[in-house]
Structure 1
Amino acid sequence: MEVRPRPNLGAFSLPKYVQVFLLLTVCVVIFMVFCTDVMANKSKPVLKIPDDVTGQRSFCTFRQISPEEALEEKAILESIAWPKSPSLPPYYSLKITSHPACSSFTILPRRGGGKWHIGDQLEVMIQIHDYLCRPKKYGGDVLLARLHTPALEAGVAGHVVDHLNGSYSAVFTLLWEGRAEVQVTLVHSSEAVKVLRRLTVQQPDRINFKSVFRSGSKTESTTCNVCLRPSRTPLCNFTDVRTGEPWFCRKPQNLGCESRIDHSKGEFTQNLRLHEERLFVSDVNMKVPILTSGPSDVFVTSNTRDEPNSMLSSVRWTPSGFYYRGAWRSLSGTAVQDFSPEQMTRCLKGKQVHLYGDSTIRQWFEYLNDTLPDIRKFDLHTKKQTGPFMALDHTNNIMVTFRCHGPPIRFGSFMASELRYIANELEGLAGGRDTVIVIGIWSHFSTFPMEVYIRRVMSIRGAVVRLLARAPETLVVIRTANVKALSLYETLTNSDWYSMQRDKALRAVFRGVDVRLVDAWEMTVAHHLPHNLHPEPPIIKNMINVLLSYTCPGQGS
């Protein structure tokens, strides 16, 4: 073994005064770096959000956001935090859970007495009971309420207030004359909500995604997600460079990440605990009407000058609109016109309409393509479910396009090269007075922590703000979430409760931005047709009438 002698360091020692000077210099530098770091941290607050608010888990990756956006996100999460209810024991009895057959609602008398008038606020008190018909002592149930008159095809959504003690109020604004009937529906018990919350916290990857990697004759398929559990398998990082939206796939064993060719929905893992499935039974304790303990209707007359409207002291509710004679009437300041196919063409003449989002926005493309008399779908050789699509009316210079949003998206297989983020698409538009943008994104984010959705919408908002800065006359319309029919699978992946939370977050993110809203939530709650993820044609027609009324005020009939 070779042995090398140690060098004689003493031969190279510095004078003592030089050593002292160097030591003082190093101390000053360290002190200055420390002070700079402290000052920097003062302007960037560290936010600690409780796990029970966020549902965040370490194996989910979130888009990086600014300190200002983090504060906004925290405020949104706190504003939509659901009321807490007692924990379910491992072997709980269904008897202690909410039961619509034992629950009831009561119409409260008009404040001040007398007849009900248009403009009055009608209040309904709801009391939830368990299977033993005992009143519950805590809140957290999911309820929907509407007031309707079938003979007039009239309906309006109510506003539900949770009093956190097993009782709730539903408040309605009376908007038409005649007899109006109250309908209250238990969507989910508070116990069911606890299960849905737990699934999002513990199993945000219960729906996974797949990508095929191919090079020559070699083909491999791997799992992809924004929530991938720790593994020794290396990852392919497909995070979008421009938006920072994260997306990962497990790396194939024998192929490179660059060989990815497609994206598709993978498997759904249902992992409920013992007896939890019994909390989600249609016509028993999920989406079931609650009966009244007395009259279920009121008779409304026109208002008179000498009798003021009845006002509730606790809450004043103004819906975004209501149906009358089957037509949606807005209360938000824009008069909704009814557009015939010919009037639709005149409205959209010379315009580009770009639709971005999920299948509920694809419905709008299909409606416009089927209804505009002279428009023809241009064959882009894409799949019916995924698109992208384009339709052209050469005579009237109308173009309508649809493109689905980027992952997560639960569609069938389509090319990875067609995965586009809405924010990036908006950055590529010139905009202007003849450009209409419609955005609808919510359904495919239900299984993920709220941060994933909020940050995606924030990213889109940033692109919208920049678009409006360079082209202020561009019309941007946001379509909200809507209620739907619920099976067990739909509930665990896309429950109305999940949609309700994202709907609230969507409105909060775009509050104060110069965009228009199509309130699909209230338009589906208020309508007499059954709830459906893809609303029925009469509802879609009303939504398109709202869109065109924003585009061409006063041009319909």
Structure 2
Amino acid sequence: MWMSLSKYISIFLLLTLSGLFIINILVWKLDLCSLDLRRIHSEDPPPLDRERSFCSHLGKEPSPEEALEERYLLESIAWPETQPWLTSSPLTQTSDPAHSLFAILPAGGRREWHVGDQLEALVLMKDFQGRPKSHGGDFLLARLHSPELEAGVAGHVLDHRNGTYSAIFPLLWEGSVWVDVTLVHPSEAVPVLRRLREEHPDRVLYKSLFRSGILSETTMCNLRLPTNQQPLCNYTDPNTGEPWYCYKPKQLLSCDTRINHFRAGYQKDLITDKEALLFQSGVNLKARIHAMANDSVTVLPKKKEVESSSAKAAPIRTTASGYYFQGSWRGLGGVVIRQFKDTTAITQCLKDKMVYMYGDSTVRQYYEFLTSFLPELREFNLQSPVSTGPFMAVDIPHNILLKYRSHGPPISWTPISISQLRYVANELDGLAGGSKTVVVISIWAHFSTFPVQVYIRRLRHIRRAVVRLLDRAPETVVLVRSANLRAQSLQESLNFSDWFSVQLDEVLKAMFRGLNIFFVDAWEMTLAHHLPHDIHPHPPIIKNMINTILSHICPVKN
């Protein structure tokens, strides 16, 4: 009898343990965002492993078509895989721009270049001991320029995955041209950035103030928060499904007493002292690579065409969207970029127009430029904070309305009222649209610290709203501003590296391609210009962006 009883006890314990195991698995899945997920540094999670992606199960589940698009986008920006820089590895084995070199290759075996040709430079990466690198993955930028002509164009960098790279440039003007090649990050730094993005997407600290009467309390907020610390307030947007959470105040304050949203700082000490050596300004962070011999060539006039039925000139084929010449941006294909040199020309273009600007501070620059440049624009005092808005200005004699509003969280600014936290997609749905309506969108700078899936989800909601707007009002002019290069220091790189931005830039362009909208290619406009990179591009670059926008609003008539 004891043997039988022992048998039943064993079965009971087994069932109990199995039940607990299953419950733990369910709790793990439901509370995934409370975990500090870690992964092996040499492996990336599969693009559609939605259980491991950053809170990807929050909000609406993507449709099969959206899931396929997400896979395509993630694969299109996949960076060459490199072995992680081991703790035992010395810095001397990493990419060193001071030892690396580039050489301009002959054009078809001859050292003669004409307008319409391509110029190619071969880059050979070496380590600090002067030994050639055997793998790719370095983040390089390339620019071709002529200082005396105030001309410049962005180059296309091709990674051969063996330590060599090709920088390819279209030749678009005559005269002497110089090649610049810059190492933004060595390949060994990329896994560090990737790890930060996947393991510490909450490294920008967000908070909100809750207040009712004499009671007030500030709590942490983010796209995800550990649920095992205290109850959460759920501020997921009901229309877009965009998630946002704050810890519920411990005092007798309800979730409805939330007053504002603001950035409270950054997490620190997320990398080791040795890893910090990979982010040394002027050493291996945005450092120039020098030429093996000459770094310039002379571009001759375009070859004369041979007019015959059998020989026709091939068009210039380039990946560049435009270039600078005599300080002015010229587009390659599409709308001719006009030069709006005075207030009268800009005012006449904007006459009877309503211009709505949505996004971050890089589009706020356009509002600030126009309101400071056009004397008849009068700003309404909306009692808005200087950096956050919203802002509105009107020119009554010419019937011009100009409005700016920031995008919804995550946005890293000084305190902004909850009443002014609006998602771009919802704002677009509130527009009637039409031939007198202009929309300018810029949303990228505040998504650098999050996995790309978060950005894809946000852009998908905005794209749907743009499609709805153009369906009901096809004559609406919609312009989308891309990401731009910025200054890089150690701390700046860990949160807002150009490596993060270039991937967001490519995703944005891919997701809006094919729609009846226009791009302001801020990436190339900052790369091709001689002025230093800055999160807020310098006035001459902004002026060229304004010219680009106005040229699409008021195109040259045939």
Measured after TM superposition, the shift of residue 201 of structure 1 is 1.0
Q: CA RMSD in A?
A: 2.0
- Asked if structure 2 preserves the Cα contact closer than 8 Å seen for 1:59 and 1:229, the reply is no
- Partner Cα distance (1:141, 1:239) in 2: 38
Cα 1:53–1:89 change in 2 (3 A) is farther
Task: Kindly provide the CA deviation profile for residues 170-190 of structure 1, in whole angstroms up to 9, marking residues without a partner as x.
Answer: 100000000000000000011
Q: Secondary structure at the match of 2:369?
A: helix
- Asked if structure 2 preserves the Cα contact closer than 8 Å seen for 1:111 and 1:310, the reply is no
- Asked if structure 2 preserves the Cα contact closer than 8 Å seen for 1:59 and 1:228, the reply is no
Correspondence 1:256 to 2:258:
no
Q: Secondary structure at the match of 2:243?
A: coil
- Partner Cα distance (1:379, 1:423) in 2: 25
Aligned with residue 412 of structure 1, among 405, 414, 418: 414
Aligned to 1:321: 322
- Partner Cα distance (1:306, 1:209) in 2: 61
Alignment of 1:244-393 (within 5 A): 244-254=241-251, 255-270=253-268, 271-305=270-304, 317-339=318-340, 340-393=342-395
Cα 1:59–1:505 change in 2 (3 A) is closer
Aligned to 2:144: 147
- Partner Cα distance (1:59, 1:175) in 2: 44
Measured after TM superposition, the shift of residue 392 of structure 1 is 0.5
Task: Kindly provide the CA deviation profile for residues 310-356 of structure 1, in whole angstroms up to 9, marking residues without a partner as x.
Answer: 999xx953310000000000002211001121100000000000000
Aligned to 1:426: 428
Measured after TM superposition, the shift of residue 554 of structure 1 is 2.2
TM-score (norm 1): 0.88
- Asked if structure 1 preserves the Cα contact closer than 8 Å seen for 2:106 and 2:112, the reply is no
Measured after TM superposition, the shift of residue 91 of structure 1 is 3.0
Aligned pairs, how many? 506
Cα 1:185–1:58 change in 2 (3 A) is closer
Task: Kindly provide the CA deviation profile for residues 231-271 of structure 1, in whole angstroms up to 9, marking residues without a partner as x.
Answer: 23111100000010000011111211111110000220121
- Partner Cα distance (2:331, 2:317) in 1: 18
Aligned with residue 83 of structure 2, among 76, 81, 86: 86
Correspondence 1:504 to 2:506:
yes
- Asked if structure 2 preserves the Cα contact closer than 8 Å seen for 1:117 and 1:301, the reply is yes
Aligned to 1:464: 466
Which amino acid is the alignment partner of residue 73 of structure 1? E
Alignment of 1:476-487 (within 5 A): 476-487=478-489
Cα 1:256–1:283 change in 2 (3 A) is same
Correspondence 1:210 to 2:207:
yes
Measured after TM superposition, the shift of residue 472 of structure 1 is 0.1
Which amino acid is the alignment partner of residue 220 of structure 2? T
Aligned to 2:439: 437
Aligned to 1:35: none
- Asked if structure 2 preserves the Cα contact closer than 8 Å seen for 1:390 and 1:399, the reply is yes
Task: Kindly provide the CA deviation profile for residues 341-395 of structure 1, in whole angstroms up to 9, marking residues without a partner as x.
Answer: 1100000000000000100011010001011121011110000100000011001
Task: Kindly provide the CA deviation profile for residues 87-136 of structure 1, in whole angstroms up to 9, marking residues without a partner as x.
Answer: 22123211111100000100000115262110101111001111111111
Aligned to 1:44: none
Consecutive unaligned residues of structure 1, counting only runs of 5 or more, are 1-48
Percent sequence identity is 53
Which one has a bigger Cα radius of gyration?
1
Consecutive unaligned residues of structure 2, counting only runs of 5 or more, are 1-42
Cα 1:105–1:230 change in 2 (3 A) is farther
Q: Secondary structure at the match of 2:467?
A: helix
Aligned to 1:396: 398
- Partner Cα distance (2:63, 2:46) in 1: 22
Task: Kindly provide the CA deviation profile for residues 520-552 of structure 1, in whole angstroms up to 9, marking residues without a partner as x.
Answer: 000000001111110000000000000000000
Cα 1:439–1:55 change in 2 (3 A) is farther
- Partner Cα distance (2:102, 2:385) in 1: 48
Correspondence 1:517 to 2:512:
no
Cα 1:458–1:58 change in 2 (3 A) is closer
- Greater CA deviation, 53-62 or 109-118? 53-62
Alignment of 1:184-203 (within 5 A): 184-203=181-200
- Partner Cα distance (1:242, 1:191) in 2: 42
- Asked if structure 2 preserves the Cα contact closer than 8 Å seen for 1:152 and 1:324, the reply is yes
- Asked if structure 1 preserves the Cα contact closer than 8 Å seen for 2:526 and 2:537, the reply is yes
Measured after TM superposition, the shift of residue 294 of structure 1 is 1.0
